[in-house]
Amino acid sequence: MPSYTNTVFCKNCSKKLNIFQFLTDDETTYINEHRHEVRFNPGETIFKQGGELTHIACMTSGYGKVYIEGINKKNLVLNILRPTEMIGGPGLFNDYRHHYSVSAIDEVTACFIKVDAFIEVSKQNKEFTAELFKWINSKGVRNFEKLINLTQKQMPGRIADALLYLSMVVYESNHFVVNISRQDIADLAAMSKESAIRIIKEFKESKLITCEGNEFEILDVEALQKISQTG
Amino acid sequence: MPSYTNTVFCKNCSKKLNIFQFLTDDETTYINEHRHEVRFNPGETIFKQGGELTHIACMTSGYGKVYIEGINKKNLVLNILRPTEMIGGPGLFNDYRHHYSVSAIDEVTACFIKVDAFIEVSKQNKEFTAELFKWINSKGVRNFEKLINLTQKQMPGRIADALLYLSMVVYESNHFVVNISRQDIADLAAMSKESAIRIIKEFKESKLITCEGNEFEILDVEALQKISQTG
DNA sequence: CGATTTACTTGACATTTATCAACATAAGGT
DNA sequence: ACCTTATGTTGATAAATGTCAAGTAAATCG
């Protein structure tokens, strides 16, 4: 491992996902021997949709963007990644390909674990396997929600969802400065950039939020939640 | 087991999913002891969204409809089930709830396997577990496609998808008689019933399909595929 | 520092899509 | 058979949304 990477061992890693807590020391060591840490610059591609799934990745620092490359160069942003999140699931045990692309938003470090090692450990450790299932299925359920949100709500509801997601899940504050573009917000809500800007403007005029450039503040969470539910 | 149900044993069952072929005889017997077959009338609910996931079900005869109950009583049809298909995945190892509803389209028989037994077997048999993962992940990937199809295509593309799905996957023929309603087709393509009817009419007028009531025939598969791709 | 690109914003417009209402047809029950 | 109800169909209309064009602000680069 090159000296300029962070040489923390899995065993003592503070960025470890819950799922790895179910491993024995030996298994943790085994994972540790089959992983490497990589640093990405803003905008760089971490996973490429259609590419071979050789590693599962865990975010250790920075922000990432998970998106499906759809029709006519249009992207659909599935979620914004924070440290401790793991990516690469859908191809596992399946076709061993990436089904979405992931890119670095700012400077990102991520741990890459060889899928072979990942699967080997999963075969040994039933609790780990169960947690893996749980992880995959909870992602699947989130996609069900996304399916409903994006097909049955109109634009204000979808933007409300996006803003609540950014506030509550990604930046964990009512007041946040986004490091994603308006296009990304639009891709998160499955609409055109112009429409996203307009709805944000309406929310601003209705005093539901403030927004100066990339600085957002949610003023009325409940009103946004109501808009989200109404559609 | 009541005498009016079909008393085939799993071991010799012709309706068995591939995934069960990886079980040993003992494991198959174990599953056999923890399953029961149920018959449903048209329209009856097989799984109810939000309900507890106590059993995994396998279709043994008839047609079923898998749908998410969304906003304002609007449904999104995920797929149409045929024998040998298995349902109940998303709640497994997760929250043990149903994340979609399933109803019988015509007369349906289905095998209900206790989740406890299902999980027990999965813990014993690694190959079975791997196949289970594969199954869940391939469903997940299909939902990614659905997410793109429904958010990035406009109505003709979505109806083309629905018709191609019915033709190639569900009824496996260019000429088929549907046992689902126009509303169901609309719910499959995430649009209003009226819009679905209009697009079908346009396809009919363009000689891409014929359609008399519930009788459909795909005349120009390639043209439909092109419309599907164009969006 | 100016020049050039990139991201953001707004307005006008065209298109897509849903809704509503009316009616036609088919299916089920007594 | 007739009535009732559910389903399908069509047209007119309104609402939602995307596209295009123009301009502004901001970031990057030599």
How confident is the model over A10-55, as pLDDT tens digits?
A: 777 888 888 998 999 899 999 999 999 999 999 999 999 999 999 9
Cβ–Cβ under 8 Å, residues B44 and B104: yes
Class of residue A185 by CB neighbours under 10 A (exposed 0-12, middle 13-18, buried 19+): buried
Residue B220 neighbours by CB distance under 10 Å: 15
Counting Cα atoms < 13 Å in the Cβ hemisphere of A70 gives 25
Place B82 in a pLDDT band, splitting at 50, 70 and 90.
very high
**pLDDT attached to residue B89:** 86
Cβ–Cβ under 8 Å, residues B184 and B231: no
Query: In angstroms, how far is CA B220 from the centroid of its own chain?
Result: 25
Percent of chain A with pLDDT over 70: 97
A1 pLDDT exceeds 60? no
pTM: 0.92
Q: How far is B3 from chain A (nearest CA, A)?
A: 37
Length of chain B: 231
Query: Using the CB atom, is residue A175 less than 7 Å from strand C?
Result: no
Put simply, the answer to whether B152 touches A70 (Cβ < 8 Å) is yes
Residues of chain A with Cβ-Cβ distance to B148 below 8 Å are 68, 70-71, 76
> Does A174 lie at the interface with B, CB-CB under 8 angstroms?
no
Question: Which residue in the block uniquely carries the two structure tokens 């005889």?
Answer: B25
* Of B48, B46, B76, B49, the residue nearest B62 (C-alpha): B46
Report d(CA A141, CA B80) in Å as an integer: 19
**How many inter-chain contacts (A to B, CB under 8 Å) are there?**
120
Cβ–Cβ under 8 Å, residues A171 and A215: no
Pull the structure tokens for residue B156. Answer: 């003709």
Residues of chain B with Cβ-Cβ distance to A153 below 8 Å are 71
Put simply, the answer to whether A137 touches B76 (Cβ < 8 Å) is no
**Which nucleotides of strand D lie within 7 A of protein CB?**
7-12, 16-21, 26-27
**pLDDT attached to residue A62:** 94
For chain B, give me the number of helices (H) and strands (E)? 7, 11
**pLDDT attached to residue B1:** 44
B153 pLDDT exceeds 80? yes
Residues of chain A with Cβ-Cβ distance to B133 below 8 Å are 92-94, 132-133, 136
**pLDDT attached to residue A3:** 41
> Does A203 lie at the interface with B, CB-CB under 8 angstroms?
no
B15 pLDDT exceeds 90? no
**pLDDT attached to residue B3:** 41
Instruction: Give distance CA B105 / C1' D8 (Å).
Output: 18
**Mean pLDDT across the stretch B104-116?**
94
